[in-house]
Amino acid sequence: MNRETFEIRELYRDEWEDAIQLAWDTFLIFEAPEYGRDGIKSFKRFIRDPMLKRMFIIGGFQVYGAFEQRTGNIIGVLGIRGGSHISLLFVQAEYHHRGIARDLMNMFYREACRNNISRITVHSSAFAVGFYHKLGFTDIDTEVYNDGIWYVPMEYVIPRQNVYRSRRILGNG
């Protein structure tokens, strides 16, 4: 698959359930094996929380999707809380290593620059730490355990000149 075969855009309301199902299915493959029962329950509670969906509907939880152009199926999802905190980033297993997560992040990065956001944060799973490091994120603490979930708090400080120019793309390549 080449880059021309998927589209990155904000999610429509009627795509919410498909996006959440993709996050859940991908979580079960790549994250759940590292978590205990409490962590799995905690993640499920988070993505199935009716308040999260309400926040999405009113614009308080921004969600981008990657869609396979041939079928229109969602193949990646990125959720942003509070305009600057990455809460979800999942790409369907068979689409890994094709630039989809990076393209989702770059769309968000450009939006953050337009909105004068100077810092992006994430609580990265162990599985995704290397990906975020490649994008230029740095650890801001050691691994943290909360509500059954292990994560590494990370941040990306947007260079001041880029807050006003949204041309720079995350990562080195």
pLDDT tens-digit map of 46-93: 999 999 999 999 999 999 999 999 999 999 999 999 999 999 999 999
Domains of the chain: 3-117 (3.40.630.30)
- Is the pLDDT at 35 greater than 60? The verdict is yes
Report the distance separating Cα 170 and Cα 39, nearest Å.
Answer: 30
24: DSSP letter: H
Q: What share of the chain is helix, strand, coil (3-state, %, to 5)?
A: 45, 30, 25
What pLDDT, on a 0 to 100 scale, did the predictor assign at position 69?
92
User: Which pTM value belongs to this model?
Assistant: 0.90
Q: What is the mean pLDDT of the chain?
A: 91
pLDDT tens-digit map of 8-34: 999 999 999 999 999 999 999 999 998
Question: pLDDT grade, residue 160 (50/70/90)?
Answer: confident
Q: Which residue has the tokens 């997560």?
A: 101
CA-based nearest residue to 20, from 109, 105, 55: 55
